[in-house]
Amino acid sequence: MNTNSHPALVGSLSSTAPSEEVVNFSPGPTSLPKAVEKKIAEGFQKPGLTSLAMSHRTPEFQAILDHAVNTARQVMAIPDNYEILFTHGGGHGQFAALPLNLCKNLTDIASYVVNGTWSERARNEGDKYCSAQTIDGKDPVTGLYTHFPELTEEAIHPDSKFVYLCSNETVNGIELHRLPKLPASRQHIPLIVDASSDFTTKPIEWLEAGVGVLFACASKNIGHPGLTMTVIRKDLLGEDKASPLCPGVFNYTTNSDAGNLWNTPATFNIEVVGHVMNWLEQEGGVMENERRSIEKSQLLYDVIDNSNGFYGTPVTNKDLRSRMNVPFNIKSGNEELTNKFLIESWELGIIGLRTLTPFGVGDYLRASLYNGISIKDTEKLSEFMIKFQKENI
């Protein structure tokens, strides 16, 4: 086969390896934990209606919804003064929904920490509905996103309706392992967190960090695409808070008052979130999940750091390295070796290291280590990386 047309080089996930040997390192949507997939399959084998065919107005679905909300609250220690909503439109929907709910006027100011692809997109979308002020995280020399800017009093506009950040930048490989605290003079400003790619992999300092809204798309760590969990501090709700332009489907207060049932929710996806939360609880909770996340990512970073430059990663500050998305290149991006790596790993069932995105294929491959990836799965990749280096020095 002509290697230039090999499926691995165009992002194919259909490896020729036996299905039981395939490990999906995609950046999302990605695989669920095996135990959750088994639970879902068992549900479809039982007689009667599944949540795919269940009216959201029935007591049967209300029980599913209550379970998903209550288990998420328990697993993630979400305080009672926060509302949990299941929203539509993914992260991009929340990029618009946040300023539409928290900024009544187009002239209202919001501060955006921009230190990667997704926070940049959020700022650009938010600027349509408010006056978005940028706290710039670009390296002044390289122009690349490789660090997180300091949140000083001077950096945050005092009239900001909110301060926005993304706790894990999947493309750039930058993660905040704990949320920052705003300066004392700015702690009245609610912190907004895009936690789409790291939610459930570490505890959230809801009150200590002053979280106002936190949202997480389901398709990385808690379920399937088509659903976003949005957690809102209740003092930010109220019809007087939102822009008159805010559509009902995005309006936090409207959906809170309707108990998550203002319009038809993604019924099956909500049930899956409940299954994932059960799995997390059974596996030791969020602290144990964080321990696993640290162990998985360290397996790969150790290979990279001990490779004498054969592998490289863009984030040199180890305190900011993402545990969820490990970007790496081979011999500073050598195209021939990179293609060889992708083909050989794909044929072994290691898939998802390169996917086609709106941003192209990028300068780095990425191994995404979400909840569906086990320590054993990660060991398979790390062992292949070591073997590949020995054979291609």
Q: Are residues 56 and 118 in the same domain?
A: yes
Residue 308 pLDDT exceeds 80: yes
Q: DSSP character for 145?
A: B
Q: What is the mean pLDDT of the chain?
A: 96
pLDDT given at position 356: 75
Residue 368 pLDDT exceeds 80: yes
Compute the distance between CA of residue 33 and CA of residue 180 in angstroms, rounded to an integer: 30
Burial of 20 (0-12, 13-18, 19+ CB in 10 A): exposed
User: Is 147 domain-assigned?
Assistant: yes
User: Is 37 domain-assigned?
Assistant: no
User: Is 128 domain-assigned?
Assistant: yes
Q: Are residues 357 and 221 in the same domain?
A: no
Q: Are residues 61 and 168 in the same domain?
A: yes
How many domains does the chain contain in total? 2
Residue percentage of the chain with pLDDT more than 70: 98
Q: Are residues 75 and 181 in the same domain?
A: yes
Domain end residue (candidates: 242, 260, 281): 281
Interval 141-163 mean pLDDT: 95
Interval 115-133 mean pLDDT: 97
Cis peptide before 29 (omega within 30 of 0): yes
Interval 15-35 mean pLDDT: 96
Q: Are residues 135 and 264 in the same domain?
A: yes
**Domain of 267: which CATH number?**
3.40.640.10
**Domain of 10: which CATH number?**
3.90.1150.10
Q: Are residues 342 and 226 in the same domain?
A: no
| Residue 287 identity | M
CA 121 to chain centre: 14
User: Is 338 domain-assigned?
Assistant: yes
Q: Are residues 306 and 191 in the same domain?
A: no
Domain end residue (candidates: 281, 296, 312): 281
pLDDT given at position 1: 43
Residue 49 pLDDT exceeds 70: yes
Q: Are residues 290 and 372 in the same domain?
A: yes
User: Is 36 domain-assigned?
Assistant: no
Interval 127-141 mean pLDDT: 95
CA 134 to chain centre: 22
User: Is 35 domain-assigned?
Assistant: no
pLDDT given at position 71: 98
pLDDT category, 140, cuts 50, 70, 90?
confident
Q: Are residues 269 and 300 in the same domain?
A: no
Residue 2 pLDDT exceeds 70: no
Show the domain range for 18: 3-30+285-392
Domain end residue (candidates: 231, 248, 281): 281
Residue 226 pLDDT exceeds 50: yes
Residue 92 pLDDT exceeds 60: yes
Active site residues: 118, 194, 220
Residue 4 pLDDT exceeds 70: no
Q: Could you give the residue ranges of the DSSP H alpha helices within the chain?
A: 34-45, 59-75, 90-102, 117-126, 218-221, 252-257, 267-282, 285-305, 335-347, 375-392
Interval 264-283 mean pLDDT: 98
User: Is 176 domain-assigned?
Assistant: yes
Q: Are residues 17 and 65 in the same domain?
A: no
Q: Are residues 187 and 328 in the same domain?
A: no
Tokens of 373: 């990836």
> What is the number of other CB atoms lying within 10 angstroms of the CB of residue 271?
22
User: Is 138 domain-assigned?
Assistant: yes
pLDDT category, 342, cuts 50, 70, 90?
very high
Model confidence, pTM:
0.96
Q: Are residues 303 and 337 in the same domain?
A: yes
pLDDT given at position 355: 76
Residue 3 pLDDT exceeds 60: no
